[in-house]
Amino acid sequence: MEQLFFFLAFGIAVVSAASVVLQSKVMYSVLSLIVTLLTVAWIYAMLSAPFLAIVQIIIYAGAVMVLILFAVMMLGFGEDETGQRRTRPDLLGVFGVLVALCFAGILVLSFFCPCGEGEAGGVVMASIPADFGSIKSIGSVLYTQYLIPLELASVLLLVAVVGAVMLAGRRKT
């Protein structure tokens, strides 16, 4: 039953991600991205990582997507530069969907290929620690193994905020 729900979430995520690329209207693309982010949170919850699932919903599907929706509505996207709606998907979008389908096929084949000694076909299943996905385990890994990348990301975000403030200040004068 758990595999059924996983493949259901996987299918919804792939279809909605393809819809992000293939939609002709930007607003529909943003809404499809919200569905994709919510299904990723669903997959996190099924992988016994409730903290990651909640953070995915609150930060990405909540705050970030609200900002993107407001930006889309304020800037008035919806038509391309010629003023006409797109009637066919771009070549880059079709290529992206084909690459995603190839990766999905490889993933599905790796589970059903009888070429290994693992429990799930050809994949050897790793044991999950008892505190996997908890706040304590994520915090300890972030502040021990990944301290330098975490601090670099925070400095990068600080520089981006300062740059945005400076650009906004230049437009007013």
**Residue 159 pLDDT exceeds 80:** yes
Residues whose CB is less than 8 angstroms from the CB of residue 93 and which lie 6 or more positions away in sequence, other chains included: 21, 22
pTM beyond 0.75: no
**pLDDT tens string 114-157:** 655 545 555 566 787 787 777 888 889 889 999 999 899 999 98
Cα torsion angle, 55, 56, 59, 61, sign: negative
> Going from the N-terminus, what domains does the chain have, and what CATH number goes with each?
2-127 (1.20.120.1200)
pLDDT at 77: 63
At 81, which amino acid appears? E
pLDDT at 128: 77
Structure tokens at 59: 């930060």
Q: 121 pairs with which residues across the strands?
A: 118
How many beta carbons lie within 10 A of that of residue 36, not counting itself? 21
Q: Which residue is listed with tokens 């995915």?
A: 56
**pLDDT tens string 29-84:** 888 988 999 999 999 999 888 888 898 888 887 888 877 777 777 776 655 555 55
